[in-house]
Amino acid sequence: MNYFKLFLFLLVTLISCKTEEKQKQVSDSKITKPNFIIAFGSCNNQNLPNTLWKEILKNNPDVWIWGGDVIYADTENMDYLKQNYSVQKNNNDYLNFSKNIDVLATWDDHDYGMNDGGSEYPKKVASQQLFLDFFNIPKNDKRRKQEGVYFSKDFTVTNKTIKIILLDTRYFRSALTPDTKTKKRYKPNKYGEGTMLGETQWNWLKSQLENSKASYTIIVSSIQFLSSQHGFESWGNMPHEVAKLENLIKETNSKNVIILSGDRHIAEFSKKNIDGLNYPLIDFTSSGLTHSYTNYSGELNKYRVGNVVSKKNFGILKFNLKTNTVIMEIRGENNKLYETLTQNYK
């Protein structure tokens, strides 16, 4: 081939590649144009710089979901808890963020008031009211009278409903089993022992799922549902409760359930194929907003898809309700995209 022919060949190849790339961009933008956007995150220390609020807004979310640890105030002193909520409430970046967006929330251990705490925490009744005060929940809201902060809200877009269920994995949770033989903090309870949600909340969850016509159900759990080999808190500490939720999702024919979790100061996607469920169950973990597990050096998770993010992060879910596609993104400082997972539902 002489130089002129070689030049022509390269020119033609370059032009055809460009055309393909352009076509791909057009079709991608069609697929990715979302009808509804959820942003979520957890683990926010009120005394550390809140640097991510402006970045989250760049994604134009329709709703912000707190997955727990709204503040850090492990205490039984309710004045101290209240003071720390007011530090967060007066944070200018958070104020600007939260004034124009729908905010939904559950708690985890550090805003509840006790590290790794459960039903034994003696101040849970008073702490619940301070949590609800922080979110300006009206006095006549049913969460003011019920035990626990569990709650649900439906969003209907183009005749399709996205149901968001926020669980309380603290108020009723019975004791975990410390692992005294390995370096892990906990080992699974004996099968059948203990409760993650308590009977009242389990009944409520059942009726939420049974009476739902939602196209998507987002279940927010402060602690991870699928990943459990790390030995910290997770649903895996009560294997029978994992089975119970999976069975409930199947029995109620709940469509397209996605679990959102936090707590771990890392972000990752976990995905499990469950017999009898016609879509994979995804547990999307995002944590923390102000501080992360910077010493992370790896841990097992047989359900993990992609890589663990151990920098500060938040989660984004973009729903295309026409194509039934959900694009999930782990983002962080400067809105940087770290990991993404696209799931096509039926």
Q: Which residues bind Fe ion (CB under 5 A)?
A: 43, 69
Shortest Å, Cβ 72 to Fe ion: 7
The residues near 68 (Cβ < 8 Å, ≥ 6 apart) are 42, 43, 106, 107, 108, 109, 111, 222, 262, 263
Half-sphere exposure (Cβ direction) of 91: Cα atoms closer than 13 Å: 25
Query: Which CB atom, from 69 or from 168, has the smaller least distance to Fe ion?
Result: 69
What whole-number distance in Å separates Cα of residue 195 and Cα of residue 241? Answer: 7
- DSSP tag of 279: S
**What's the CA gap between 194 and 237, in Å, rounded?**
9
In a 13 Å sphere around the CA of 17, the CA atoms on its Cβ side amount to 6
What is the distance between the alpha carbons of residues 17 and 6, in angstroms, rounded to a whole number? 17
CB of 26 to Fe ion, least distance (A): 42
Q: Is the Cβ of residue 70 or residue 257 nearer to Fe ion in the bound state?
A: 70
Single-letter amino acid code for the residue at 117:
G
Kindly tell me which of 69 and 241 has the beta carbon lying closer to Fe ion: 69
- Rounded CA separation 196/202 (Å): 9
The C-alpha atoms of residue 143 and residue 141 are separated, in whole angstroms, by 5
Nearer CB in complex with Fe ion: 74/93: 74
Nearest approach, Cβ of residue 232 and Fe ion (Å): 11
Quote the least distance from Cβ 261 to Fe ion, whole Å.
11
Closer of 162 and 167 to Fe ion (Cβ): 167
**Rounded-to-integer distance, Cα 138 and Cα 140, Å:** 5
Nearest-CB residue for Fe ion: 43
For Fe ion, the closer of residues 312 and 318 by Cβ is 312
From residue 218, alpha-carbon distances to 127, 157, 188, 195, 317 in Å are 25, 15, 26, 21, 10
Residue number with CB closer to Fe ion (232 or 269): 232
Closest approach of Cβ 42 to Fe ion, in Å? 6
CB of 294 to Fe ion, least distance (A): 14
Distance of closest approach, residue 80 Cβ to Fe ion, in angstroms: 18
